[in-house]
Chain A
Amino acid sequence: EDQVTQSPEALRLQEGESSSLNCSYTVSGLRGLFWYRQDPGKGPEFLFTLYSAGEEKEKERLKATLTKKESFLHITAPKPEDSATYLCAAGRGTGANNLFFGTGTRLTVIP
């Protein structure tokens, strides 16, 4: 059975305190690993797609990495505006048409 597990469920960081979020997956026929950011009351906003083990992508203070079993979202020197829920999703099916989401990590960055 396909599974996507994110940890921790919630994370509180001081501004500037770097950390990592974990996404472990067991998905047959993986077609990409996706990271989204979701702010309260809004829809998920796309961040990254990773397709193969060893791949890395960066955007501002965020860097996503992928292994054969998990993905990490590294946050370097976070700011309060980075506070959000971060969702990872495994792409399944032709062209990763079917996204299978984890339950997210709720990040709070304290000034």
Chain B
Amino acid sequence: DTAVSQTPKYLVTQMGNDKSIKCEQNLGHDTMYWYKQDSKKFLKIMFSYNNKELIINETVPNRFSPKSPDKAHLNLHINSLELGDSAVYFCASRMGADTQYFGPGTRLTVL
């Protein structure tokens, strides 16, 4: 059973487009995250939601907007995509102060 899943796995799009990445977890966790991993493999937190409430919002352009329709889902919408947005985006989740579990990642390529 997949614990943290993301769709799509690969996303190739043109500059200026708007795209979304979806994340779902079936672990019953109450906190979900979005991370960005750049070409140098540096993994940096972007957002964190707890029980559908935004609790961490790092310095991220406001073109990025997370949306949590329920505790099991956290989607990432990106407006007006730029070349520098190309990266691998990871969703993660955890329960309370437990370990964070990561999804398989979405590789976004902006042309």
Contacts and interface: CB of A to CB of B under 8 A. Distances in A.
Contacts of B42: 101, 103
Contacts of A98: 45, 48, 56
B99 interface: yes
A99 interface: yes
B99 A44 contact: no
A43 to B, nearest CB: 4
B96 interface: yes
Contacts, number: 49
A98 to B, nearest CB: 6
Contact of A101 (B43, B50, B103): B43
Contacts of B31: 97
B66 interface: no
> For the complex, would chain A's binding face be called helix, strand, loop or mixed by DSSP majority?
strand
B90 interface: yes
B44 interface: yes
A45 interface: yes
Interface string A21-46: 00000000000001010100111111
A104 interface: yes
> For the complex, would chain B's binding face be called helix, strand, loop or mixed by DSSP majority?
strand
B101 interface: yes
A73 interface: no
Given A43-B103, A43-B105, A99 B97 contact: no
A103 B43 CA distance: 7
A1 to B, nearest CB: 13
A80 to B, nearest CB: 21
24 contacts: A34-B99, A36-B102, A41-B104, A41-B105, A43-B102, A43-B105, A44-B43, A44-B90, A44-B102, A46-B99, A46-B100, A93-B56, A97-B31, A97-B48, A97-B50, A97-B55, A98-B45, A98-B48, A101-B42, A101-B43, A101-B44, A103-B40, A103-B42, A104-B41
Given A44-B90, A98-B48, A100-B45, 10 more contacts: A42-B104, A42-B105, A43-B4, A43-B103, A93-B56, A96-B97, A97-B50, A101-B42, A103-B41, A103-B42
